[in-house]
């Protein structure tokens, strides 16, 4: 009796503690919700640009919820609203300054610094030299965050004079990170002086990373001076990664006059990575001259990766005139990797001629993996002949890998009533792997004709391994007929492995007829 009473007390105390915990949590959550709602109400006034009301509401929020996680947000937006309202700039400056001192780790601290410098710049122009000193101090600062804040403020000012100050900031910056950010700011300017500064940085900065950023910024400048500088950088003794960036930058210019320059590098450059980059840079250039350039690279480039890049470029161009060279490359090249790339390029040019070339490759003496690529590619071609080609390979080819690949490709061509074609291949093939592929291809079609074929195999096929595969292939079916066939196997099959496969498929199968479910229970442990 005492034991039962003691247990009851324990249960009661546990429930009470849970209730108390929930009550505390609910109270805390309610309080949190309350301050969040109050902040959102004040912030909405900022969004509505009702500056007087926003300042008053933010003040009330700060007084009412001094420990809220939204206090620093509220203080920042109070400074911001005061600035937008048109309050005295020195008071606004002081507001931001106090915010930065108190909330060094707030997500708004950098924004406050930027606003401080921008306002300081205005105040210095209004004849208050002490604020000019603040701006200059930030420019000379070794602190990355402060320097970047000064940089962003100068960017927002946007004048030619501010750009000159930015150049000076670059010249004095010791930090690679800061110089990289400065390059971005200079690159966003349309001033002719900006191009000259970017060229200087691209050629002389001690950091290859910063020089690459300057090169990338030059890519957006459609000025002859920028293009000439990029070509000079490519021909200079700088690091390969900087040259590579310059090559891709030239590709972004898409100037047809650059084609001969890029072709020479693609064909003759000793550094393979640069030859490849030059080839890829031509990919975005359209027209007859660009097509001829790509074909020239494919024929004459020293490096395999450049020729492979040319093959990729051709596949993207849909250029029928390239089919002749692609055919030669696929059939006569002694490098299987390049031959396969040629096959993919041929497949990208949808035409009857492409289909005939793929057919030649399939029945050629090229390595198996090249012919496999052609088999997969031809399955995507819209030609009435494709069906017969794939059936022939699947049925008669003495290479097991090719016959199996033909089955997989054939699945993209055959539909519905054609499932009987795969069944015929299954009967004729001598390869177990081909028969397995045929069964899975039939099941993947998920139509009544395919299900009937598999059911027929389950009931009539003498090979136990094929019956097992047939049972497995029905696992993803949603057919009632498939359920009935699998139940038949479980109840009548002599081979244990086949019955196991049927049970596993029943466990995975989904059928719309829920009345069948009770039949599965003895086998699925319902």
Q: Is pLDDT of 474 > 50?
A: yes
Q: Which of 347, 286, 362 minimizes the C-alpha distance to 312? A: 347
The predicted structure's pLDDT at residue 164: 77
Distance CA 163, CA 189 (A): 8
Cβ neighbours of residue 79 under 8 Å, at least 6 residues apart? 92, 95, 96, 99, 112, 115
Distance CA 77, CA 42 (A): 9
Q: Is pLDDT of 15 > 70?
A: no
pLDDT in tens, 55-64: 999 999 999 9
Distance CA 246, CA 396 (A): 53
Three-state secondary structure string covering 327-394: HHHHHHCCCHHHHHHHHHHHHCCCCHHHHHHHHHHHCCCCCHHHHHHHHHHHCCCCCCHHHHHHHHHH
Q: Is pLDDT of 153 > 80?
A: no
Higher pLDDT, 445 or 526: 445
The predicted structure's pLDDT at residue 4: 39
- pLDDT-derived band of residue 27, with 50, 70 and 90 as boundaries? very low
The predicted structure's pLDDT at residue 17: 43
Contact 198, 210 (CB under 8 A): no
Q: Which of 96, 72, 84, 89 minimizes the C-alpha distance to 48? A: 84
Q: Which of 221, 197, 224 minimizes the C-alpha distance to 211? A: 197
Q: Is pLDDT of 416 > 60?
A: no
Which of 222-226, 341-345, 512-516 is predicted least confidently?
512-516
- pLDDT-derived band of residue 53, with 50, 70 and 90 as boundaries? very high
The predicted structure's pLDDT at residue 134: 63
The helices-and-strands tally (H runs, E runs) of the chain is: 30, 0
pLDDT in tens, 368-390: 999 999 999 998 887 888 989 99
- pLDDT-derived band of residue 130, with 50, 70 and 90 as boundaries? low
Mean pLDDT of the chain: 81
The predicted structure's pLDDT at residue 515: 46
Cβ neighbours of residue 321 under 8 Å, at least 6 residues apart? 291, 295
Which of 200-209, 365-374, 465-474 is predicted least confidently?
465-474
Helix/strand/coil for 103? coil
The predicted structure's pLDDT at residue 331: 92
The predicted structure's pLDDT at residue 144: 57
- pLDDT-derived band of residue 430, with 50, 70 and 90 as boundaries? confident
Would you say the pTM of this structure is higher than 0.85? no
Contact 263, 277 (CB under 8 A): no
Percent of the chain with pLDDT over 90: 37
The predicted structure's pLDDT at residue 452: 78
Higher pLDDT, 128 or 157: 128
Cα Dmax for the chain: 101
Contact 191, 220 (CB under 8 A): no
Mean pLDDT of 199-226: 89
The predicted structure's pLDDT at residue 2: 37
Q: Is pLDDT of 6 > 50?
A: no
Mean pLDDT of 191-195: 86
The predicted structure's pLDDT at residue 38: 92
What single DSSP character describes residue 56?
H
The predicted structure's pLDDT at residue 339: 92
């Amino acid at each position: 009796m005492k034991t039962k009473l003691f247990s009851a007390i324990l249960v009661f105390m546990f429930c009470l503690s849970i209730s108390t915990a929930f009550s505390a949590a609910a109270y805390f959550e309610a309080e949190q919700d309350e301050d969040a709602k109050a902040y959102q109400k004040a912030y909405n006034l900022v969004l509505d640009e009702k500056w007087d009301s926003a300042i008053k509401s933010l003040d009330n929020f700060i007084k009412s919820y001094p420990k809220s996680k939204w206090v620093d947000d509220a203080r920042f937006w109070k400074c911001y609203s005061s600035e937008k309202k048109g309050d005295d700039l020195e008071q606004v400056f002081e507001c931001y300054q106090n915010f930065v001192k108190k909330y060094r780790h707030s997500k708004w601290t950098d924004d406050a610094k930027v606003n401080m410098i921008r306002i300081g710049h205005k105040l210095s122009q209004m004849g208050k030299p002490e604020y000019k000193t603040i701006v200059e101090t930030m420019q000379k600062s070794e602190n990355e965050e402060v320097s970047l804040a000064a940089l962003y403020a100068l960017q927002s000012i946007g004048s030619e004079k501010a750009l000159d100050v930015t150049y000076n900031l670059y010249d004095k910056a010791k930090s690679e990170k800061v110089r990289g950010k400065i390059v971005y700011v200079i690159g966003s300017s349309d001033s002719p002086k900006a191009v000259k500064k970017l060229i200087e940085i691209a050629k002389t900065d001690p950091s290859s990373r910063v020089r690459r950023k300057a090169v990338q910024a030059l890519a957006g400048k459609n000025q002859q001076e920028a293009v000439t500088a990029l070509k000079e950088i490519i021909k200079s003794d700088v690091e390969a990664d900087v040259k590579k960036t310059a090559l891709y930058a030239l590709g972004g210019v898409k100037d047809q006059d650059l084609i001969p320059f890029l072709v020479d590098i693609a064909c003759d450059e000793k550094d393979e990575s640069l030859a490849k980059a030059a080839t890829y840079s031509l990919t975005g250039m359209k027209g007859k001259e660009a097509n001829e350039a790509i074909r020239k690279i494919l024929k004459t480039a020293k490096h395999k990766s450049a020729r492979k890049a040319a093959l990729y470029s051709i596949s993207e161009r849909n250029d029928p005139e390239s089919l002749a060279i692609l055919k030669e490359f696929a059939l006569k090249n002694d490098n299987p990797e390049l031959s396969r790339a040629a096959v993919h390029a041929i497949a990208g040019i949808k035409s009857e001629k492409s289909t005939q070339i793929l057919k030649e490759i399939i029945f050629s003496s090229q390595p198996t993996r090249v012919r496999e690529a052609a088999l997969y590619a031809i399955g995507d071609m819209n030609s009435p002949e494709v069906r017969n080609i794939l059936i022939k390979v699947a049925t008669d080819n003495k290479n097991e890998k090719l016959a199996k690949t033909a089955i997989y490709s054939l699945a993209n061509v055959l539909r519905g009533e054609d499932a009987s074609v795969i069944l015929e291949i299954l009967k004729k093939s001598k390869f177990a792997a081909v028969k397995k592929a045929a069964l899975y291809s039939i099941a993947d079609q998920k139509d009544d004709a395919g299900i009937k074929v598999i059911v027929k195999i389950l009931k009539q096929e003498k090979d136990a391994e094929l019956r097992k595969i047939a049972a497995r292939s029905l696992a993803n079916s949603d057919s009632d007929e498939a359920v009935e066939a699998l139940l038949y196997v479980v109840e009548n099959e002599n081979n244990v492995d086949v019955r196991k496969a049927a049970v596993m498929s029943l466990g995975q199968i989904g059928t719309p007829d829920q009345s069948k479910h009770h039949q599965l229970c003895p086998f699925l442990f319902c």
